Amino acid sequence: MRIGQKTTRCQCGHNIDLSIAKIKSHTNDARELAKAVAMENVALRGGRKEYERAAGAHRKLKGAHGRTADAAAGAGNREHKIRAVAVELTRELGDFTARDFALVLVSLGIPAPQTRLEELLKLNLIYEPRPGHYRVV
């Protein structure tokens, strides 16, 4: 965008009227722009504190949980990340517990870990070899 420009077009095709837009950040780097847009969206939805807490929790994880979170972070959309967490926990721990699963999901900023675990069970992507312990099929 150039200073003084009146309109621009988003990648999705939406026209943006720049005369009423507020500039929140300046950058020439696409990665920095993506981060700035993400943070602004989080702020607009009132979840900045929760986002920062989840990001901080991710950094605090160590060992198998941290490696699992790191591997799943780049898995794509939320559904792929959830599946990647189950796969990586099985690879790291063999059988994993609901607590293991919840620790990693919360660190990735994914809410309702118990619901996600139940969804994986219903889809037969994981099974329960013994009570309270799970494994990828």
**Where in the chain are the domains?**
7-46, 52-136
The pLDDT value recorded for residue 117 is 93
Structure tokens at 114: 């118990």
Residue type for position 86? A
pTM of the model: 0.55
Cβ–Cβ under 8 Å, residues 41 and 25: no
Please list the alpha-helical segments (H only) found in 8-77.
Answer: 30-44, 48-60, 63-73
The pLDDT value recorded for residue 84 is 92
Distance CA 137, CA 123 (A): 11
The pLDDT value recorded for residue 59 is 52
- CA pseudo-torsion sign 63, 68, 110, 35: positive
Low-confidence ranges of the chain (pLDDT < 50): none
Smallest CA-to-CA distance from 108 within 53, 64, 63, 32 is with: 53
Q: What is the pLDDT of residues 8-19, one digit of tens each?
A: 887 888 888 877
Distance CA 86, CA 92 (A): 10
Q: What is the pLDDT of residues 109-121, one digit of tens each?
A: 888 999 999 999 9
CA distances from residue 118 to 22, 109, 112, 132 in whole angstroms, order as listed: 43, 18, 10, 12
